[in-house]
Structure 1
């Protein structure tokens, strides 16, 4: 089992079905429409297709996670979330680095994602990891006020 270092005396390991409730809580803190724990449990149940990387302490208290979907030589970053108290400390970068390291040992050659085009911190992080914009999806992210944000579709090469 791979384990990666993370800031704040945390480490990154693969997510497990038992982490579903924690991931749902973290996701709801970062996104207007959080996903239910049952969805996370389903994803975590097939870690070959939808691996998750969790930043956790020695007692398995999770402070952040990234979840992927793998299909052949392509993968998609489904979501990434960091506890608001831990943001700005490099945890998101550590999670992405772990995912990239793991994917480098697989047949995956390309990683895709969608991000709100106004999310400057996320865009800065993704650019650091070599993601480049390849398209847009208008009205992709619903907002609390009833409007919808445009998603920027990005791609990075693995390896």
Structure 2
């Protein structure tokens, strides 16, 4: 199903009222999704949890942990019907601006080697691959490694 881009996307803080919709998107786009509880725990921990809306509809979200001069991008996702429209790039730019506003010097993230679209998005934004975490993600048969990426902010 294709969705129409109605108006400019806007970002706002995630609330508990968003958790069911966010968890539904997560289940739709990932084989091993975060649970509603994972998102709830992130909110309760004080992580920077953001919703991207377009025309009043949740089309994406991000979860970022900021500590001192480092940020860890834990989740950045766009709903299936809204992908390939530049919204992932827009949400990533929002996260990068947020990090700069908090005087973050480096952003880290993990990404599956099989997620070519996300790897390309992060590379275009200036992230570099710096390490490999073996067996980090659950996979269909066993485990999948994670590529650790870093962006140095100036």
The aligned counterpart of 1:52 is 49
- Tell me how far apart the structure 2 counterparts of residues 134 and 8 of structure 1 sit (CA, whole Å): 38
Moved more, 28-37 or 110-119: 28-37
The aligned counterpart of 2:28 is 29
The aligned counterpart of 2:127 is 131
What is the number of equivalent residue pairs in this alignment?
A: 149
**1:114 partnered with 2:110:** yes
The aligned counterpart of 2:153 is 158
**Structure 1-normalised TM-score?**
0.85
Q: Structure 1 stretches (4+) deviating beyond 6 angstroms?
A: none
The aligned counterpart of 1:42 is 41
Secondary structure of 1:25 counterpart: helix
**Structure 2-normalised TM-score?**
0.88
The aligned counterpart of 1:89 is 85
- Tell me how far apart the structure 1 counterparts of residues 65 and 116 of structure 2 sit (CA, whole Å): 24
The aligned counterpart of 1:69 is 65
- Tell me how far apart the structure 2 counterparts of residues 103 and 38 of structure 1 sit (CA, whole Å): 25
Question: Structure 2: any 5+ residue segments left out of the alignment?
Answer: none
- Tell me how far apart the structure 1 counterparts of residues 110 and 6 of structure 2 sit (CA, whole Å): 28
Contact 1:137 1:151 in 2 (8 A): yes
